[in-house]
Amino acid sequence: MNDTTGRGGGPVDPPPLAHIFNSTHADFDAVTPLVWGPTGEAMAARAGILPGQRVLDVCSGTGASALAAARLVGPAGSVTAVDFAGDLLARAHAKASAAELHNVEFRVADVTDLRADDIGHFDVLTCGYGVFFLPEMDAAVRNLIDLLLPGGRLSLAVWHDDALYDFAGAYFARVARVTGEPTPPGPRDPVDDPHPITRIDTVEKITAWLESVGAVDTRATVLRLRIPRTDTFGWSMVLGSGLRGALDGLSPEAIAEVRRGFLQDLADADMTEVNCDTLIATGRRPER
């Protein structure tokens, strides 16, 4: 079974993450108005982006924060949006064109491969729900901070504390029941190698972690996102996120069984809302 949500725990053996995220492309934007969109706007706003600046948006998906940043920098500024899921980035590109935002460059690339020699330095770095996917998260984020100009600002979004905890737990339990495979360990189960998200899921943890990878003036706040639990939202959140990876290779009948059982389990648990609370953390690259 594959856990690519940043909400599971323990060792996993997913198909390549880019393949999973590409497979979400038709469903990803069903979640945008309720989750990815508000976070993208908040993250760009808290980055303090000014007209004319150069922004690097990594793990861009369908462009929630990249497009918000493009509006803030205006025609004199620019945004470079990077993701290795080309199908998601193509949707971001189409949305930018439809909105007549011509100041965004889209790059299909692994963000851990970005180097200043190639793309230069930026005034602002934004990354929504992405850093916990990066292998060797600390080294990867140090490298991203190096792509900022001295004094440049960064703004990150990650799941806060209990966000998606019960939701993802019910989902993986249901997938396990349908497939007959063991349920993967949750993020708080004792495992040798806890999921990186457990290191950055509170205000205190993420600000301390950002300082440890080289940022200064770090701050974080919680964006409260409680989405009414409906079957439509529940299943869109599965199909339009990395949770979808656990369905990879299942037959249409098995997927239908997961859907029916999972949505029933949420209803039986009297879950009235889905906790999608999000931490928005900001900081700066030191001046020298």
Q: Which residues are at the interface with ligand SAM (CB under 6 A)? A: 17-18, 21, 36, 39-40, 59-61, 64-65, 83-85, 88, 110-112, 128-130, 133-134, 241-242
Looking at the Cβ atoms of 1 and 64, the one nearer to ligand SAM is 64
Looking at the Cβ atoms of 178 and 200, the one nearer to ligand SAM is 200
Looking at the Cβ atoms of 81 and 178, the one nearer to ligand SAM is 81
Smallest distance from ligand SAM to CB 90, Å: 12
Q: What is the DSSP letter of 285?
A: -
- State the angle between helix axes of 165-179 and 252-268 in degrees (0 to 180), rounded to the nearest 10: 140
DSSP 10-28: S---PSPHHHHHHHTTTTG
Smallest distance from ligand SAM to CB 94, Å: 15
Smallest distance from ligand SAM to CB 118, Å: 15
Smallest distance from ligand SAM to CB 129, Å: 4
Looking at the Cβ atoms of 178 and 281, the one nearer to ligand SAM is 281
Bridge-based pairing state of the strands 54-58 and 122-128: parallel
Contact criterion met (CB below 8 Å) for 227 and 2: no
Smallest distance from ligand SAM to CB 125, Å: 12
Looking at the Cβ atoms of 67 and 210, the one nearer to ligand SAM is 67
Smallest distance from ligand SAM to CB 95, Å: 11
Looking at the Cβ atoms of 65 and 236, the one nearer to ligand SAM is 65
E-assigned strand segments in the chain: 54-58, 78-83, 104-108, 122-128, 148-159, 216-223, 226-228, 273-275, 278-284
Smallest distance from ligand SAM to CB 277, Å: 14
Closest of 235, 283, 262 to residue 172, by C-alpha = 262
Expressed in percent and rounded to 5, the helix, strand and coil fractions of the chain are: 45, 20, 35
Closest of 164, 162, 161, 219 to residue 43, by C-alpha = 219
Looking at the Cβ atoms of 23 and 207, the one nearer to ligand SAM is 23
Bridge-based pairing state of the strands 273-275 and 226-228: antiparallel
Nearest residue to ligand SAM, scored by beta-carbon proximity: 61
